[in-house]
Homo-oligomer: A and B are copies of this chain.
């Protein structure tokens, strides 16, 4: 089957959509929820609910069939029960409607003969009639700039992230997560069982899409491993690909079979895939978002020497341990830096060095700037981590003027010198602090300064960033 270079644009910016199988009842899934979310998000195109009986749904005129519509819509969202899907596909084909998203579940993933048969039928119709099908068993396309955000945050935030994912829930969460952290999505595709269009098709499309600068993938399976391998390896040079692979263990893999009806594949094969493509592999939702955050905003560091700024002796010890364990370096500063530091750090109760234990940096922005100036000028240092908020109820200083805006300005003016990120620990079981920490984290991220909830998570993201740029540099030499 020829699949190179499918134009998938219409999936993401259709001028008109037919939603086939909209019941009049609201529910959290199904056609009616898609319709109402599209209305909520202010989708500017024409919407056609299809329902055999209804005259009107959600304030819109309803139609009994695709054939009865006043135009051929550019996209169909199919929500009818699985056994009716083949006849809807035939109707699409008859009407010249090529781009189809099948929301419906109940195919191969059920493990039943009937489900298997229906999925084969979908594939056969698509092949014979030249249909481009996203799904089945998925949430479909998402594109904030088209206000096509029927799932996910509404209206969503446009940006330069591309997402390809075999889980609607995980994609939904990722779009929400990135939006709250100040990043935007160009296009996301929840591709479910990927019966017709496979991850490689979407990747090929996104590789050419100028609006997309990095790509997040959640995969459970792949049909043509060799094709994906070559593609990922090529694309990864231009646009970092951050891959979350589900089903890496036996229990996970058997769940994959029930989720998207596919084989998760041998773990050893996946490991070879990661090695050969240089893809950035992450193991959890949080690690995924953490890495995306680093790649979204930061230039590649020229080394892995980290300068740690914070307060607290034990804290400094543990932060240094963690950075090293995760794969970064925490080098000694140059003599010149140490001389400058020792002039501002008190002998007792603080520690001049790397890590720097200096409480003053929490509330005195001039002191923080002075310290960072030293780090930016030190040849041992290529990355800076600033620990910003230690969750101690007793040390809250509500009377202190908030210096965050000044600090943000300073960092923004200097981040081209060395990538600088923040740690905002708002764990600690105190709901008030959780709120405050989450808001501060969002404020920093909005300003393009990655902020992480722990040093572990920050360090891991930075290791991914450093490894990727090292891989690119090595590959370029070959």
Q: A-side interface residues toward B, CB under 8 Å?
A: 28-29, 37, 82, 104-106, 109-110, 112, 151-154, 165-170, 172-173, 176-181, 218, 220, 244, 246-252, 254-256, 258-260, 283-286, 311-318, 320-325, 329-332, 347-349, 351, 353-355, 357, 359, 390-395, 426-431, 434-435, 437-439, 441-442, 445, 453-456
A322 to B429, Cβ gap below 8 A? no
**3 smallest A-B Cβ distances: which pairs?**
A167-B314, A180-B429, A259-B313
B165 to A314, Cβ gap below 8 A? yes
Docked pose: A272 CA to B216 CA in angstroms: 42
Contacts of A428 in B (CB 8 A): 173, 176-177, 180
Contacts of A252 in B (CB 8 A): 317-318, 320-321, 324
Contacts of A314 in B (CB 8 A): 165-170, 218, 220, 246, 259
Contact partner of A286 (CB less than 8 A), chosen from B181, B251, B390, B427, is B427
Contact partner of A438 (CB less than 8 A), chosen from B357, B434, B439, B445, is B434
A429 to B441, Cβ gap below 8 A? yes
Contacts of A434 in B (CB 8 A): 426, 434-435, 437-438
Docked pose: A339 CA to B376 CA in angstroms: 63
Docked pose: A110 CA to B105 CA in angstroms: 66
Contact partner of A251 (CB less than 8 A), chosen from B28, B323, B441, B455, is B323
A321 to B177, Cβ gap below 8 A? no
Contact A105 B437, CB 8 Å, known A165-B314, A312-B169, A428-B176 = no
Chain B: which residue is nearest A104 at the CB level?
Answer: B348
A153 to B393, Cβ gap below 8 A? yes
A152 to B394, Cβ gap below 8 A? yes
Contacts of A104 in B (CB 8 A): 348
Chain B: which residue is nearest A348 at the CB level?
Answer: B106
Docked pose: A6 CA to B254 CA in angstroms: 57
A249 to B284, Cβ gap below 8 A? no
Contacts of A181 in B (CB 8 A): 429
A321 to B283, Cβ gap below 8 A? yes
In the assembled complex, the CB of A93 is this many whole angstroms from the nearest CB of chain B, namely 24
A255 to B316, Cβ gap below 8 A? yes
Q: Kindly report how many copies of this chain are found in the complex they form together.
A: 2
Contact partner of A392 (CB less than 8 A), chosen from B173, B286, B311, B393, is B173
Contact partner of A28 (CB less than 8 A), chosen from B105, B318, B395, is B395
A255 to B394, Cβ gap below 8 A? no
Contacts of A325 in B (CB 8 A): 248-249, 283
B393 to A247, Cβ gap below 8 A? no
21 contacts between A and B (CB under 8 A): A105-B348, A105-B349, A165-B314, A173-B428, A177-B427, A180-B428, A180-B429, A248-B325, A251-B324, A251-B354, A252-B317, A252-B318, A254-B353, A255-B357, A258-B357, A259-B316, A285-B318, A426-B434, A427-B453, A429-B441, A431-B438
A456 to B348, Cβ gap below 8 A? no
Q: In the complex, given contacts A170-B312, A177-B427, A286-B454, what are 20 additional A-B residue pairs having Cβ atoms less than 8 angstroms apart? A: A154-B394, A167-B314, A176-B391, A176-B394, A176-B428, A176-B430, A180-B429, A246-B317, A247-B317, A251-B321, A251-B354, A252-B317, A252-B321, A252-B324, A256-B317, A259-B316, A427-B453, A429-B441, A429-B442, A434-B434
Contact A176 B392, CB 8 Å, known A312-B169, A357-B259, A431-B438 = yes
A250 to B180, Cβ gap below 8 A? no
Docked pose: A248 CA to B324 CA in angstroms: 9
Contacts of A173 in B (CB 8 A): 390-392, 428
Docked pose: A454 CA to B247 CA in angstroms: 18
Docked pose: A202 CA to B300 CA in angstroms: 48
B442 to A321, Cβ gap below 8 A? no
A167 to B438, Cβ gap below 8 A? no
Docked pose: A329 CA to B320 CA in angstroms: 33
Docked pose: A325 CA to B332 CA in angstroms: 35
Chain B: which residue is nearest A322 at the CB level?
Answer: B284
In the assembled complex, the CB of A157 is this many whole angstroms from the nearest CB of chain B, namely 11
Contacts of A176 in B (CB 8 A): 391-394, 428-430
B28 to A82, Cβ gap below 8 A? no
Docked pose: A112 CA to B371 CA in angstroms: 23
Contacts of A323 in B (CB 8 A): 251
Contact A321 B169, CB 8 Å, known A176-B430, A442-B429, A442-B431 = no
Identify the interface centre among A169, A177, A247: most chain B CB within 10 Å of its CB: A169
Contacts of A315 in B (CB 8 A): 167, 169-170
Docked pose: A178 CA to B427 CA in angstroms: 11
